[in-house]
Each structure stands twice: as C-alpha cells, then as structure tokens.
Amino acid sequence: MGSKTFRDKLKKAQEFIGGGHYREALSLIIDEEVSSVRELFNKIASLIDIGFALRDEKVLRYGIYLFEEHHKEIIVLVDYRALVYYNLANQYANMATLKSFDNDYYSCFSRSELQKAKMYYYLALESEKLEVGLKRDIHISLANCFRTLGRFEEALEHYNNALLTDPSSLIALDNKTELMVGLSSLYWDKRDEILKESWDLIQSKVNDQNAAMNKDLLTKSLTTIKELISRKDYLQEEQILPVYTIESSSDFEHFYISWCIKNKLYLNFCNFCRKCDYAAGDRAVIKKQDISIGREDRGRFLRLASAYNKLKADYVSSRFLLILSQYEDLDLGFVNVMAPMIEVPGMEIIDIKSSLQNQAFLSLWRIWDNIAAFLNIYLSFNMTGYISMKDIWYSGGNVKKEIIEKKDLLLNSVYDIYCDMYQGRFEKLPLLFEILSGKGNSISKSGFNDELNREELTIELFQVVRHILMILMQMLDSEEKDDSDFRINFPLYSFEIPDAIKI
C-alpha cells in the first residue's frame, strides 16, 4: 500500500478521532501497512488514542506492542530517546488506569503495567538530551506511579525533584501538597507541621500570575488545610527554613548526624525534606495508641513493639558500621598492619574500612527475616519456625488471597519495594549480597560484573530498608486513623508526537 494512501487514511482517521468516531477511525488504519518508521509512529499514536478512548484493551495493547517492538528504530531515526521512553511509560501507566476502572486496587500485589511504566520512566531520565519541561513531567509521572502503589515518600521525592527542575510547576505543587495533606493523617504528632508546610507552599503561588487559572483549586486546598490543622494561628506564623542546627559533643558525632541527614538514613518522616531539627534522630517508635486495643490478642502491642525494636536496633547498629567506614578522620590503618592478609591470585585484599562497609551491608541484609517476623505478627498469620519474606507473600507461587483482600496500599508498598529487588530498580542489591557472602560470582543473568559500586549500593540498601521501616510505622498508625484523606490517583497521559515526525 503506497505511503500517500496511508497518510490520506491517517488524516481521515484523525478527523474521526477528533469527532469522537473511534470505531470508524480504527477500521481505517488497523490493517494498513506503513512504509516508514515515521508513519509507524503516527499509526501507533492513533491506535493508542483509540484504544484508550474505547477502553478496548486489545487495541491499546496492540499499539503498545508495536511501540515497544519498534521504539529503538524510532530513537535512531529522530534521536528522541527520552520522549520515546516517556511515551512508552505513559502508555503502560494508561493501561494500568484502564484496568483500574473496574478495580481500584488492580495494581496492588501484582507486577502490573506500572512496573513497566517505572522502568521506562527511569530510562527516560537517564537520557542525555532532556529538556526541562520533559524532565519535570517524568518526575511528576514517576511520583504519580509511586503514589498509586502506596510508596508515598518516594512520590514526595519525585514531586520535589519536579519542583526543583521547574519551580513554577503548579501540577507538581498541587500534587505534592495534596499528598502531604493525606500523609498528615498518618503522622499525627507532626500533622500540624506537615499541613503548615503545605499551606506555605500554596501561599507562595496563590497570587502568582501563572496560577490565575488554578486559583480556585489552590484556594480549595487552603480551605481544606485550615479545616484540618489544630493550631489555626500557626498558619499565620512566618517560618524561615532551613533552621536545623547540628549540636554535637565530638567531631565524630557531628559527622554521624550530618552524614545521616545528607543520605536520608534517619528513621523519621522529616527525612524527606531535611529542613529542621526534626530531620535528625531515629524518632520512629511504636506508641501504644497505635495498636488496636479492641483485638482479642492483648499481647499484640508487646509483640509488635518487641519486633520493631529489634528491627530498629539492627538498622541502627548496621548503619553505625557503615558510618565508621566513611569517617576519614578515623585512622584505622593500624588494624591493617596488625592483621596482614595473604595475597591470593584473583582476589583483592580488603582493608578494614572496606571490610566495615561490606559487613554493614551483610549485617543489614539479615533484617529481611526480621521484617518477615514483624509482618507475621501484624497480619496475624501465626506462622512458626523460620519465616522468610516469600513465606509472607506467597502460597503455591501466588500472592496469598488474604493479603490481596486487605486492599492495603501501605502493605502493597512493602511488597512492591521487595519485588523491585528481584525484578526492578534494586536488582543489583541481591547480586552484591551473593558476591559479599561468597554465594555467587560477579556475573549475573543481567550481565553485571565486578564494576558494581559497592559504596553506592550499600547506601541504597540502607535507604530501601529505611523506607520499609517507616512504612511499617505508617501501617500501624493507619489502623486507628481515618484514611479518607487518601485518594488513589489514576492519571491519564496523552501520546506526544515530536513535531519533526508528525504527519
């Protein structure tokens, strides 16, 4: 079929789409052959638009299939790597939205389309040619993804990144403040502070000329905050941030505190913004009022408190090893001198600081079993003996029915983070564990080799575990609090065609 014939039909199909006649548009192009990558890109865009408008999963999946199958050709042709990956991610996110029309919790406890979306969003961020507007939109979309999965702190981080990229973004600002208002219901001891920051963020934009069209929305958000905050006069106080000061009795203590703040390793909610003294210290503890007293099992609080204390102790002690490995003013060279190593071909000689870093990683890795023990108590599974994370989630190779039926976003976030270690962004972590524990070599199915950055991965493991430990606290708190401030977002994304290849 000639190129002119396809282009004529595509133009007619686009007219049908504009008029809402999607079936007619589909019949015009579905079986048409294309003669160039440019035509293919435009056909894919139309198929995706049609499939989503009709809520026709087969058409949408066909469009995504063609796009994924040929996206590398499009990247080579027009050098729009970031935009192509962004479009791919958006369409997987759209597919999840389509499936969620009938089930709000479709993406929970499954490796759904949102996993593919996350992967392509990160690939888009890695692109060298990344315009400010596109970078902002990728961060917003990633934040929306994490929010849908219950990974609220990571969502906040990406809304923050979007605002750092483009401080004028009202979408990022509105999404961030909406999420913070929701999170305030999970952190009652910091509820007013979180609402105050949301109030100040909105106030900074409400009189901006660029916000004129959204003024009603911003005013509505301010009204909501005013209704929720307990100290009304606090909203009018001037707050200049950052205001934290690091008080310490030694150089090492100063380094310990500042390094934990810098790398977001403290167990407290304020870690995400790090603007005041609350950012320092492991303030997360289980309070008795966090545990339902209406349960028949009166010892539940003691068991959960004991299990969480164990998690916290393991995390803090492992982190101390890591910080010792980073403190340059501590001369541990005498240890290397007093413990000489025999050179063995093919093996590196590790000094004491490298060894401390490795032991910090291995020590923290063992915490997964204790997290499983905590979840066993929390979910009232009453399993005995050794319990692994897989034992918590799976039965017969499938996620347990009782877990799915809980429809718990926070519990899903723990599941999703854990799965990301084996089928996602954190998959290098178990690989490093195998290497350090001597259970495997430095080559895996993914083709990774000895060039793994052990320091970066060790810090990443601590950040991952910290996220989970904070989520466990949120899970307990949400048992007793009304979570009506939370809404599962299902954003829709249009398919963006670069002007250079638009027909």
pLDDT tens-place string over residues 194-226: 888 888 888 887 767 666 567 777 888 889 899
Q: Note the pLDDT of residue 101.
A: 82
The single-letter DSSP state of residue 289 is G
Q: Can you tell me the mean pLDDT for 269-287? A: 67
332 against 56, higher pLDDT: 56
Secondary structure of residue 280 in the 3-state scheme: coil
Q: Do 290 and 194 sit in the same domain of this protein?
A: no
Q: Do 337 and 441 sit in the same domain of this protein?
A: yes
For residue 52, tell me if it sits in a domain: no
Q: Do 293 and 223 sit in the same domain of this protein?
A: no
Least confident of 34-38, 400-404, 495-499: 495-499
- Please count the other Cβ atoms lying within 10 Å of the Cβ belonging to residue 19: 10
Measure the CA–CA gap between 301 and 15, rounded to whole angstroms.
Answer: 63
User: Following DSSP, what letter does each residue of 183-201 receive, concatenated?
Assistant: HTTT-GGGHHHHHHHHHHH
**Residue tagged 């970031």 (tokens):** 82
For residue 358, tell me if it sits in a domain: yes
Q: Do 311 and 217 sit in the same domain of this protein?
A: no
Task: Output Rg (C-alpha) for the chain, integer angstroms.
Answer: 26
- Please count the other Cβ atoms lying within 10 Å of the Cβ belonging to residue 59: 20
Q: Do 234 and 357 sit in the same domain of this protein?
A: no
Q: Can you tell me the mean pLDDT for 416-420? A: 95
Measure the CA–CA gap between 93 and 124, rounded to whole angstroms.
Answer: 14
Measure the CA–CA gap between 149 and 49, rounded to whole angstroms.
Answer: 25
Measure the CA–CA gap between 75 and 71, rounded to whole angstroms.
Answer: 6
- Please count the other Cβ atoms lying within 10 Å of the Cβ belonging to residue 372: 20
297 against 330, higher pLDDT: 330
Q: Do 210 and 355 sit in the same domain of this protein?
A: no
Q: Do 319 and 467 sit in the same domain of this protein?
A: yes
Q: Note the pLDDT of residue 204.
A: 81
Q: Do 316 and 441 sit in the same domain of this protein?
A: yes
pLDDT digits (tens, 9 = 90+) for 138-176: 999 999 999 999 999 999 999 999 999 999 898 999 899
Measure the CA–CA gap between 247 and 101, rounded to whole angstroms.
Answer: 52
Q: Note the pLDDT of residue 277.
A: 61
For residue 200, tell me if it sits in a domain: yes
Least confident of 99-103, 177-181, 230-234, 486-490: 486-490
148 and 489 Cβ atoms separated by less than 8 Å: yes
412 and 108 Cβ atoms separated by less than 8 Å: yes
Our CA dihedral for 104, 106, 109, 110, rounded to 10 degrees, sits at -160
Measure the CA–CA gap between 192 and 260, rounded to whole angstroms.
Answer: 25
Which residue in 325, 333, 349, 297 sits closest to 462, CA to CA? 325
Q: Note the pLDDT of residue 287.
A: 60
Domain extent at residue 433: 284-480
Determine phi and psi for 53, rounding to 5 degrees: -65, -35
Q: Do 224 and 362 sit in the same domain of this protein?
A: no
For residue 455, tell me if it sits in a domain: yes
Round the average pLDDT of the chain to a whole number and report it.
Answer: 84
For residue 290, tell me if it sits in a domain: yes
Q: Do 300 and 406 sit in the same domain of this protein?
A: yes
Tokens representing residue 330 in the block: 């501590």
pLDDT digits (tens, 9 = 90+) for 12-27: 999 999 999 999 999 9
Q: State the SS3 of 98-123.
A: HHHCCCCCCCCCCCCHHHHHHHHHHH
245 and 278 Cβ atoms separated by less than 8 Å: no
Measure the CA–CA gap between 487 and 178, rounded to whole angstroms.
Answer: 9
Secondary structure of residue 395 in the 3-state scheme: strand
Determine phi and psi for 394, rounding to 5 degrees: -115, 150
Counting Cα atoms < 13 Å in the Cβ hemisphere of 282 gives: 19
Q: Note the pLDDT of residue 191.
A: 83
Q: What pTM did the predictor assign?
A: 0.85
For residue 265, tell me if it sits in a domain: no
Secondary structure of residue 398 in the 3-state scheme: strand
Chain-centre distance of CA 136, in angstroms? 16
Q: Do 225 and 289 sit in the same domain of this protein?
A: no
Which residue in 252, 248, 246, 251 sits closest to 274, CA to CA? 246
Count of the separate structural domains present in the chain: 2
Tokens representing residue 298 in the block: 């009166």
Q: Can you tell me the mean pLDDT for 102-114? A: 87
For residue 254, tell me if it sits in a domain: no
- Give whichever of 36-45, 129-138, 437-446 has the largest mean pLDDT: 129-138
Measure the CA–CA gap between 383 and 69, rounded to whole angstroms.
Answer: 45
**Residue tagged 């996602």 (tokens):** 424
Name 394's bridge partners: 399
For residue 10, tell me if it sits in a domain: no
Q: Note the pLDDT of residue 479.
A: 61
Q: Do 333 and 196 sit in the same domain of this protein?
A: no
